């Protein structure tokens, strides 16, 4: 009830503010250095003289007064002086540690420019170098040895109203494998995009690393490694840690706190999703987020091929969590076209490290068995493509160059417009480059990738802009929508709705230029529209727990969106009972 009233008050305040009838004041009992060292409160040289005097920071800052616009220019000037992307990543993370509002102002000023730095592909390199670049801890580090003490650890986190948690155990970071505690860069980066792309307030976000050890011998021998120095602990102890973690999070922050699983290995990802999906508000981004963005690309591609998704035969290079998630959502999309599930399954083939997945092959997991068909065993992807003549190939196995010249040429022979998705991250793991796809298919290929590629100019003068199937189109909007209306679980239909929404926002001009996704410059609008669709679905199907139901869903969602504009300050002579910082609705 308290949470609902707080949300309604926030909504009222935001709508008043948009009409110019109120002003945001931050009331705080903090003073002096505490203000300038707190990234939530710090405005740098944008503090007015009155604020500096009231807050006891006059003299702690240079005498000039700089607006946020000028501060942005200074950040951009410094950014341009950095010699490589890793230095740029460290620079931006340092800004996030000092001045949160300015950090998000920078990201949103040119999201297409900065997303590859704070997210893929640079975040992969940042994780590999995490011990070297580590400056200031962000989020919570919970180890296998903290079992039975997790509720106490959560008390250490200063924010009381957490609505989105991103958690990893670091075992399968992007396509880089087991990076152990260095994987913390992923939850930090994901939640930065929750705010930059979805508008989820950063103070409501919590990144978590579950450190159970690492099987990466190089890290165990690295003197800079910041995690536990022993092999991964598995079995009952691991499961007990996860159970306690989920319960502790929801006990402290409520059952409508979103918990996003990120970069868990296949052996744990599916079973944890199946175990928790109906009990908690949770999803696995590698399975469901990747599925939504891939299917969004396929749905957009159908407008080019002028066909239905059920008309296509699809071959996957890879049969892990990403492949399975995409395949299952494709089946759902085909069923929506009226095709029986058994027929849908026959349209999807998978190739793993042992070759084509067929019935009778040894040691198939239940997930793989579902997509195993009667066929002779085949080892090489090239042979599989020549035999099955698919209309679409999707790479999600992090095997660089898996889509060979022969495969790409064959795809253009079988199909008028072959669909070729090289979705593995980071860029170094991509199955082929955009240039290879467009050149070897003579411009016929409909291409999407997981990491960004530069535009390609063909010999006939056409300039094509490769579509980036970035999960950032999915999880910020999903996170904003499910938390806004306080859902208690996330049905799979949410991800098909998300895929359809993204595809609908691709214009004919985008398609003509080779784009299968809306421009990244519009990603905040994409997230907003996804959130609205989710809220509409939640109330229609009685999945929301926040009532009364808002009449204007768009205004309701806007009321939650974080603003990068600086707030004004006033000094509070006493400490707020629940937190040291609070927002007052001060009428002018």
Helix, strand or coil for residue 181?
helix
Euclidean distance between CA atoms 149 and 146, whole angstroms: 5
Exactly one of 7, 30, 190, 429 is catalytic; name it: 190
For residue 130, give the nearest of 170, 96, 157, 75 by alpha carbon.
170
Euclidean distance between CA atoms 269 and 272, whole angstroms: 5
User: Can you say whether residue 442 is alpha, beta or left, with left for phi > 0 and alpha for psi between -120 and 50 degrees?
Assistant: left
What one-character DSSP code corresponds to residue 415? Answer: -
Exactly one of 104, 119, 517, 566 is catalytic; name it: 119
Euclidean distance between CA atoms 528 and 502, whole angstroms: 11
Three-class secondary structure assignment of 184-211: HHHHHHHHHHHHHHHCCCHHHEEEEEEE
What one-character DSSP code corresponds to residue 420? Answer: E
- Whether residue 279 contacts residue 483, with contact meaning beta carbons closer than 8 Å, is answered with no
In the residue annotation, 354 being an active-site residue is answered as no
73 φ, ψ (degrees, to nearest 5): -60, -40
In the residue annotation, 119 being an active-site residue is answered as yes
DSSP codes joined into one string, 264-310 = --HHHHHHHHHHHTTTSSEEEIIIIIHHHHHHHHHHHHHHHHTS-GG
Q: Are strands 22-28 and 568-571 parallel, antiparallel or unpaired?
A: parallel
At residue 483's C-alpha, the angle toward residues 175 and 154, to 5°, is 75
For residue 163, give the nearest of 261, 25, 260 by alpha carbon.
260
Euclidean distance between CA atoms 383 and 353, whole angstroms: 14
Q: CB neighbours of 49 closer than 8 A, spacing ≥ 6?
A: 58, 65
463 φ, ψ (degrees, to nearest 5): -110, 120
At residue 452's C-alpha, the angle toward residues 133 and 127, to 5°, is 20
What would the two tokens of residue 345 be? 């399954």
Which helix (H) or strand (E) segment holds residue 170: the answer is: none
Q: Are strands 456-457 and 205-211 parallel, antiparallel or unpaired?
A: unpaired
- Whether residue 141 contacts residue 148, with contact meaning beta carbons closer than 8 Å, is answered with no
The residue ranges of DSSP E strands in 388-495, in sequence order, are: 392-395, 419-422, 446-449, 456-457, 463-464, 467-468
What would the two tokens of residue 447 be? 């291409």
Euclidean distance between CA atoms 246 and 261, whole angstroms: 11
166 φ, ψ (degrees, to nearest 5): -115, 125
Maximal C-alpha separation, the chain: 79
Euclidean distance between CA atoms 410 and 217, whole angstroms: 41
Q: Are strands 392-395 and 419-422 parallel, antiparallel or unpaired?
A: parallel
What residues are labeled active site? 119, 190
């Amino acid at each position: 009830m308290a949470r609902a009233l707080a949300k309604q008050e926030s909504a009222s305040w935001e709508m008043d503010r948009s009409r110019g009838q109120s002003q945001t004041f931050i009331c705080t009992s903090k003073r002096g250095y505490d203000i300038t060292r707190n990234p939530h409160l710090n405005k740098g040289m944008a503090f007015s003289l009155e604020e500096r005097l009231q807050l006891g920071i006059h003299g702690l800052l240079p005498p000039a007064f700089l607006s946020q616009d000028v501060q942005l220019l200074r950040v951009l000037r410094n950014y341009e002086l950095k010699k490589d992307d890793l230095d740029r990543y460290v620079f931006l993370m340092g800004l996030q540690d000092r001045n949160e509002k300015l950090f998000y102002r920078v990201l949103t000023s040119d999201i297409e420019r900065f997303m590859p730095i704070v997210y893929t592909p640079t975040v992969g390199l940042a994780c590999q170098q995490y011990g070297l670049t580590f400056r200031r801890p962000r989020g919570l580090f919970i180890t296998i040895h903290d079992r039975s003490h997790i509720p106490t650890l959560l008390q250490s986190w200063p924010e009381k109203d957490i609505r989105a948690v991103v958690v990893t155990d670091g075992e399968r970071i992007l396509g880089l494998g087991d990076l152990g505690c260095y994987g913390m860069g992923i939850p930090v980066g994901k939640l930065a995009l929750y705010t930059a792309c979805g508008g989820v307030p950063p103070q409501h976000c919590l990144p978590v690393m579950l450190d159970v050890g690492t099987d990466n011998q190089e890290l165990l021998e690295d003197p800079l490694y910041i995690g536990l120095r022993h092999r991964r602990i598995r079995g009952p102890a691991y499961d007990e840690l996860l159970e306690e973690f989920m319960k502790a999070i929801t006990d402290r922050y409520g059952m409508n706190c979103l918990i996003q699983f990120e970069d868990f290995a296949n052996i744990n990802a599916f079973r944890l999703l199946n175990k928790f999906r109906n009990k908690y508000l949770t999803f696995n981004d590698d399975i469901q987020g990747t599925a939504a963005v891939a299917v969004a690309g396929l749905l957009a591609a159908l407008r080019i091929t002028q066909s239905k998704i059920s008309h296509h035969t699809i071959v996957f290079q890879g049969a892990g969590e990403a492949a399975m998630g995409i395949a299952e959502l494709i089946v759902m999309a085909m069923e929506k076209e009226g095709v029986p599930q058994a027929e849908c399954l026959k349209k999807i083939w998978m190739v793993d490290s042992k070759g084509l997945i067929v019935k009778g092959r040894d040691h198939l997991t239940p997930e793989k068995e579902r997509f195993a068909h009667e066929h002779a065993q085949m080892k090489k992807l090239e042979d599989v493509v020549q035999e099955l003549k698919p209309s679409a190939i999707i790479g999600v196995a992090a095997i660089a160059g898996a889509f060979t010249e022969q495969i790409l040429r064959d795809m253009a022979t079988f199909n008028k417009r072959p669909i070729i998705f090289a979705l593995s991250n980071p860029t170094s793991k991509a199955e082929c480059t955009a240039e290879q796809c467009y050149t070897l298919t003579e411009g016929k290929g409909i291409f999407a990738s997981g990491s960004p590629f530069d535009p390609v100019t063909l010999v006939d003068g056409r300039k094509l802009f490769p579509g980036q199937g970035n999960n950032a189109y999915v999880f910020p909007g999903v996170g904003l929508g499910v938390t806004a209306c306080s859902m208690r679980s996330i049905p799979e239909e949410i991800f098909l709705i998300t895929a359809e929404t993204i595809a609908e926002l691709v214009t004919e001009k985008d398609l003509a230029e080779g784009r299968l996704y809306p421009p990244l410059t519009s990603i905040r609008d994409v997230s907003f529209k996804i959130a609205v669709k989710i809220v509409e679905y939640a109330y229609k199907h009685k999945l929301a727990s926040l009532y009364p139901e808002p009449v204007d869903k768009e205004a309701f969602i806007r009321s939650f969106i974080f603003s990068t504009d600086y707030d004004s300050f006033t000094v509070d002579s006493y400490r707020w009972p629940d937190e040291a910082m609070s927002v007052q609705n001060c009428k002018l």
